[in-house]
Structure 1
Amino acid sequence: MMGPLHDIIWTKDHDLQQKIDHEIKMREGTARLLVASKHPAQVLEAAKNLLSSNTRIIAYMSELQRRKTAEVLGKQLALEGNQLPCRAQVSVSDIRIPLMWKDADHFKNKGDYRRYAVFCMLKVGTEIYDTSMISDVDRSMTDITFEDVILFDDVPHDFDMKLEVYCHKLHEEFSVANTPKKLRKKINDISGSVGRSVGKRLSGLNDADVIGNMVLGPKFELVAKGSLCLSDVDNSVRTFDLNLETNADGQVHELPLFGHYCCRLAALPHCLVQATVTGFLNVQEDDDLSKWKRYWCCLKNLQLACWSSPDDVEVTQPLLSIPVTKSTQICEANPSTVKKLHSFLIKTVNINGIFDHTLAADTKEEFNKWWDGFQQHLLDQALWKHACDEQMDLRASGRRKAPLFTRKSSLYEETPLIEPERDSDSIVNDLGNDQLTQMLHTLMGEASQIRGGASSQL
């Protein structure tokens, strides 16, 4: 019999499969846009988006495979009854990468005038975002600064965030717009002779065929990596190590990275902004231990806030606030001194002294709910550590990079691979699949040769 846990797992797998399908559509649309682009800026942006889409697809498929393997082996981690710490929103901002040019390049303005396009990709599990791309990075710049605020919505306390730096050396790119005349003539000849149907067939090619053979799109190289975790969370900008990647020859990329980067990593655990548990509780009066007062209570943001009724929560300050911090202890009340059923004691120690509050729930079920809620709140604080000391400003501006799952691909899908001539569709009927395939292979083969020649000149 399938239980609730199985339904949750199925829903998560289904959502992940939807993301994969959507990202594949985005990749296909981006590939078409890359083919159709004529301006260098468009080509660069399309190549960057294509790399990001491919990275997401790989991450989604790897996670789906991991879940399937765990399911087969019976190693489900999310078991019912286990208390897990809350998750958090985590933001990365103020990313700055110092550059280390030679004196002759930067100060004396000598040497070749190298220019680069650079962007960063940040990963936490299957959440992958990229920054805006900084083009025309040259010897006049002492560092690369990204204005983006990248916001991750559902991050566990033991997260391991990866920051990757991608770079492309700017030079003449290959596209349909600047194809050598011989190859461009072949493209136009095919378009003019076989018409729209060939365009449709070309549109159906996979990305390896389109990007790897027909178009010499810009290639972004992974030039450096960094990592961030909970201990790096801070309200201020800090400096971190940047590990430089090497090529097959053991050489680092010619972009003169300094080996460090700066950024601000902020975290806002859900327990600080979302109620762990709410409901009515009876609080023992301090001046008369025989009297109890009934409050509507909300456990959130390191305190138990108490109002007269639920309607007062949004309009007035709490009548009573009981701190629930890392130094708080929750225990059952002594039945010899507290006669009320379902009662418990909240004991907090801080610089002002020791504070005790005795509370009671209405029923055993309510008592269990509150008991679990307090344990959850203390667990959240223990595992999120200093990130729970105060509410950090995530600086989630309008420049936030939204998940690509929400993007639309209709614009890309409407972009034709080749602009056909309207009166040439009838010729398609005279061409067989073998002849068409031979024409495409000839075209792609010459493109591959040109790409090899271009890459050898770098």
Structure 2
Amino acid sequence: MFSRNHRSRVTVARGSALEMEFKRGRFRLSLFSDPPEDTELQRKLDHEIRMREGACKLLAACSQREQALEATKSLLVCNSRILSYMGELQRRKEAQVLEKTGRRPSDSGPPAERSPCRGRVCISDLRIPLMWKDTEYFKNKGDLHRWAVFLLLQLGEDIQDTDMVLVDRTLTDISFQNNLLFTEAGPDFELRLELYGACVEEEGALAGAPKRLATKLSSSLGRSSGRRVRASLESAGGSGSSPILLPTPAVGGPRYHLLAHTTLTLAAVQDGFRTHDLTLTSHEENPTWLPLYGSVCCRLVAQPLCMTQPTASGSLRVQETRVRAGELEQAAGRPFTLSISNQYGEDELRHTLQTESRGALQSWMEALWQLFFDMSQWKQCCDEIMKIETPAPRKPPQVLAKQGSLYHEMGK
């Protein structure tokens, strides 16, 4: 089987069209070697493929509900990343082919003179409010359903996810404690948030129904008759052929459904807590429906590189200004200077800086114009540096805490 890292000899048939192209010099070795950024993306793709295989094996071997939920979540995240990486690789390959043939992409016009700097985008303090009915939340009536939910976030080809959270009617909102950082963002970024959920009771109740049913029948029919009924139910449950029991799900493992989504852009960046609208994808008639209020609260901040890294470095001399009486003496050589003025309220402060040569002056002017352009693209993110906390390393998923309500205690 062919491997990317495997070295082997390639034989070209004599007189073939490929040999003629080599002789003419139309093919270069650079066409057969991937750029470093493509190699890194391919490495990420191979890693996610291996992770997906591991998640499939773990899901097949899961014996606990909590493990199945985590394995299914990992499988969904891996699939999303694989599709994202494959799409990005395809776009890069097409751009390379168009560049080699001297053509531009179909959507390209004249090349832009400047490109804005990249930056970091961090989202934290994610909360999604819930809207329960009065009878469910205040009067504690109705069936107690539970959902396992998590957020999937995508910016470009980078996809990240939050921890899984259990939700029931005792909660007023869904709170995610993760700080998610995207390090390669442009001012035109689009951060897509997707909320996925799986109804735990949908399959969890099925798993415990045979045992509870057998227990209730044995206690209501008496000792001798009850024992025989219970034994027949348990033996039939082991074979999986009893028509009395509820049918087992066709798919081994829980199913996550897309409950809501939204897209955040540069306009949503603010150094503070802010509320954004969600687009709901499920209705109350849907078995996987979760009573979402229709909004998400979060803190979305950005740090352009022009605010955290030096744009240019070198030697500049502040030119002194003196007022003297007398005739003006013509300078032997015209100094290479540039003026920078800052407005402080109604006052204006101007500095005149002198460089050593014309080339240095042009370099400084180019750096300043690039800085002005970056600030015009990142807008409010350049008013002041927004604080970004480095996300803590992700811990292995813990076993979901069991509910301590009377409902769940009676179901044991």
**TM-score above 0.5, yes or no:** yes
Q: 1:361 aligns with which of 342, 348, 355?
A: 355
Q: Would you say 1:19 and 2:44 are equivalent positions?
A: yes
Let me know the Cα RMSD of the aligned residues. 3.5
Q: Would you say 1:245 and 2:275 are equivalent positions?
A: no
The match for 1:75 is: 104
Q: Would you say 1:380 and 2:411 are equivalent positions?
A: no
The match for 1:130 is: 161
Residues 259 and 289, structure 2, Cα contact 8 Å, conserved in 1 = no
Q: Would you say 1:256 and 2:291 are equivalent positions?
A: yes
Deviations 1:319-369 (A, max 9, x none): xxxxxxxxxxxxxxxxx9995443222223331522222222223332222
Tell me the CA shift for residue 166 of structure 1: 0.3
Tell me the CA shift for residue 131 of structure 1: 0.6
Q: 1:181 to 1:357 in 2, by over 3 A?
A: same
Q: Would you say 1:165 and 2:200 are equivalent positions?
A: no
Tell me the CA shift for residue 82 of structure 1: 3.9
Residues 149 and 400, structure 1, Cα contact 8 Å, conserved in 2 = no
Q: Would you say 1:391 and 2:385 are equivalent positions?
A: yes
Residue segments in structure 1 that go unaligned for 5+ positions in a row: 185-212, 290-335, 402-406, 408-458
Q: 1:287 to 1:42 in 2, by over 3 A?
A: farther
Q: Would you say 1:95 and 2:131 are equivalent positions?
A: no
The match for 2:234 is: none
Tell me the CA shift for residue 43 of structure 1: 1.3
Residues 245 and 253, structure 1, Cα contact 8 Å, conserved in 2 = no
Q: 1:161 to 1:150 in 2, by over 3 A?
A: same
Q: Would you say 1:265 and 2:259 are equivalent positions?
A: no
Residues 246 and 252, structure 1, Cα contact 8 Å, conserved in 2 = no
The match for 2:270 is: 234
Q: 1:220 to 1:103 in 2, by over 3 A?
A: same
Q: Would you say 1:120 and 2:151 are equivalent positions?
A: yes
The match for 2:216 is: none
Secondary structure of the 1:216 match is coil
Q: TM-score, normalised by structure 2?
A: 0.70
Q: 1:223 aligns with which of 247, 259, 264?
A: 259
The match for 1:296 is: none
Q: Letter of the 2:306 partner, please give it.
A: C
The separation in 2 between residues aligned to 1:351 and 1:230, in whole angstroms, is: 28
Q: 1:119 to 1:81 in 2, by over 3 A?
A: closer
The separation in 1 between residues aligned to 2:379 and 2:331, in whole angstroms, is: 35
Secondary structure of the 1:278 match is coil
The separation in 1 between residues aligned to 2:104 and 2:267, in whole angstroms, is: 29
Deviations 1:224-249 (A, max 9, x none): 001111111111111110000148x9
The separation in 1 between residues aligned to 2:351 and 2:323, in whole angstroms, is: 13
The separation in 2 between residues aligned to 1:79 and 1:42, in whole angstroms, is: 53
The match for 2:316 is: 281
Residue segments in structure 2 that go unaligned for 5+ positions in a row: 1-25, 211-236, 242-248, 325-329, 397-412
The match for 2:213 is: none
Tell me the CA shift for residue 152 of structure 1: 0.8
Return the index of the structure with the highest Cα Rg: 2
The match for 1:106 is: 137
The separation in 1 between residues aligned to 2:164 and 2:94, in whole angstroms, is: 37
The separation in 2 between residues aligned to 1:102 and 1:131, in whole angstroms, is: 27
Deviations 1:10-41 (A, max 9, x none): 22222211111111011111111222222221
The separation in 1 between residues aligned to 2:186 and 2:394, in whole angstroms, is: 20
The separation in 2 between residues aligned to 1:238 and 1:47, in whole angstroms, is: 31
Q: Letter of the 1:226 partner, please give it.
A: T
Q: Counterparts of 1:325-344 in structure 2 under 5 Å? A: 339-344=333-338
Q: 1:363 to 1:48 in 2, by over 3 A?
A: same
The separation in 2 between residues aligned to 1:142 and 1:8, in whole angstroms, is: 54
Residues 197 and 257, structure 2, Cα contact 8 Å, conserved in 1 = yes
Secondary structure of the 2:360 match is helix
The match for 2:5 is: none
The separation in 1 between residues aligned to 2:138 and 2:153, in whole angstroms, is: 33
Q: Letter of the 1:85 partner, please give it.
A: P
Q: Letter of the 1:277 partner, please give it.
A: A
Q: 2:77 aligns with which of 52, 57, 80?
A: 52
Residues 35 and 215, structure 1, Cα contact 8 Å, conserved in 2 = no
Q: 1:11 to 1:80 in 2, by over 3 A?
A: farther
Residues 238 and 262, structure 1, Cα contact 8 Å, conserved in 2 = yes
Q: 1:43 to 1:23 in 2, by over 3 A?
A: same
Q: Counterparts of 1:34-49 in structure 2 under 5 Å? A: 34-49=59-74
Residues 343 and 361, structure 1, Cα contact 8 Å, conserved in 2 = yes
Residues 199 and 288, structure 2, Cα contact 8 Å, conserved in 1 = no
The separation in 2 between residues aligned to 1:31 and 1:338, in whole angstroms, is: 79
The separation in 2 between residues aligned to 1:57 and 1:19, in whole angstroms, is: 9
The separation in 2 between residues aligned to 1:110 and 1:221, in whole angstroms, is: 26
Tell me the CA shift for residue 276 of structure 1: 0.6
Q: Letter of the 1:22 partner, please give it.
A: H
Tell me the CA shift for residue 181 of structure 1: 3.6
Indicate the structure whose relative CO is greater, using CA pairs within 8 Å and at least 6 residues apart.
1
Q: Letter of the 1:61 partner, please give it.
A: M
